[in-house]
Amino acid sequence: MAHEVTANSIPGLHDPGCVEFRRSDAVRTSIPSFPGVTMSCIHARSGVRAAAFGVALATATGGAFAQNYPARPVQVIVPYSAGGSIDIMTRAVAQGLSKSLGQNFVVENRPGASGMIGSEFVTRAKPDGYTLLGHTSSFPATTSVRAKLPFDPVKTIVPIATFARAPMLVAVHNSVPAKSVKELIELAKKKELTYGSSGAGGNNHFSGSLFAAAAEIKMTHVPFKGIAPAVASLSGGEIDLIISSAAALGPAMQANRVRILAVTSSKPSPLFPGLPAVAESGAPGYEYQLWWGLFAPAGLPQPLLEQINAAVNKVLAGPEMQKFFEREKAEAWPQTPKELDGFLAREIERYRKIAKIAEIKPL
């Protein structure tokens, strides 16, 4: 006959810290007996101690690792071709981190699939702080409209810091007769215009489609493999316009190959004195802002994340970066780890709403 045994049923063996142990005689095994000890106590205490040890070890290891970081060069992946705004921003911050932390932060371009190839590479890297990802708001934009992704952006990537934010510029080739957004809209109603982008689903694609929706016009999207070739095409008159960052448009602007019509902030920006906002020029309610930041594979120890975040924010506050931002027409945007918690998920949801308004179909 089966007989139940509990720690409570044996005088002198009850321990409030033990989990009740039940065993049937029918399945009894040979277990050594120790005065005052039950197997339930051994397992329960071992489990609690193991869990506590695991937490303590993870905390101690993460803290010690952060103290010694960086002990070797750090690889920073930019998932787009060289010459774009995120490439320029990431290199500037990487240079500042190299000087500040005494170890090289090496930027490597891994373009393709609208930033997905380089991003996926980082998701597969060890979360030890030695493989980081420089990205822009194109990241949540692209992931928000991808029908299939090789990774879950929210679960596999964590934000470390944001560098800067800025409005974009509406630029047309000099051969386009429009001298204002209002004239551009009027022209587009008579003739279908072409606008370029760094790739389907990126910021240039989103901002162009949203502009067309707000202005109630139709334009043809021409995607390129990176923003540099897109701007080069605009400079050569192969496309009519592009909505992009001042950093990416810089060379074309300096060479007087393009004409800037407006800024994409909700109102005129002090970063671009004299330029009207698109929303005031025939596309009511239109607004589009860029941001740039640094990410890492999920699982990065919190102490290390906080250390890198603090190092980046320190670089952003330095005089060299302030001059850089002034030159690149952007404003520093330091955020704390607490502010960045859930940042990527919120951005992806925001871009899904924009995609719906702009009628951008899943890619």
Q: Is residue 2 in a domain?
A: no
Q: At 259, which amino acid appears?
A: R
What pTM, to 2 d.p., does this model score? 0.75
Separation between Cα atoms, residue 225 and residue 198, nearest integer Å: 6
51 pLDDT above the threshold of 70: no
Residue bearing the bigger pLDDT, 55 or 216: 216
Q: Is residue 68 in a domain?
A: no
- Check whether residue 262 and residue 284 sit in a common domain: yes
- Check whether residue 295 and residue 285 sit in a common domain: no
Which residues are within 8 A (CB) of 354 and not within 5 positions of it... i.e. 6 or more apart?
Answer: 141, 144, 206, 210, 360
Q: Is residue 69 in a domain?
A: no
Separation between Cα atoms, residue 76 and residue 129, nearest integer Å: 10
DSSP three-state, residue 129: coil
Domain finish residue from 240, 270, 289: 289
- Check whether residue 261 and residue 151 sit in a common domain: no
Query: What does the pLDDT average to over 15-41?
Result: 36
Domain finish residue from 289, 320, 339: 289
* 144-198 residue pLDDT tens: 998 889 999 999 999 999 999 999 999 999 999 999 999 999 999 999 999 999 9
Q: At 146, which amino acid appears?
A: R
241-244/74-78 β-pairing: unpaired
27 pLDDT above the threshold of 50: no
Query: Do 243 and 169 touch, CB atoms closer than 8 A?
Result: yes
Q: Is residue 343 in a domain?
A: yes
Separation between Cα atoms, residue 219 and residue 26, nearest integer Å: 78
For residue 13, the enclosing domain spans 7-61
Number of domains in the chain: 3
Domain finish residue from 255, 289, 323: 289
Confidence (pLDDT) at 84: 85
Query: What does the pLDDT average to over 108-135?
Result: 96
DSSP character for 104?
Answer: -
Q: Is residue 243 in a domain?
A: yes
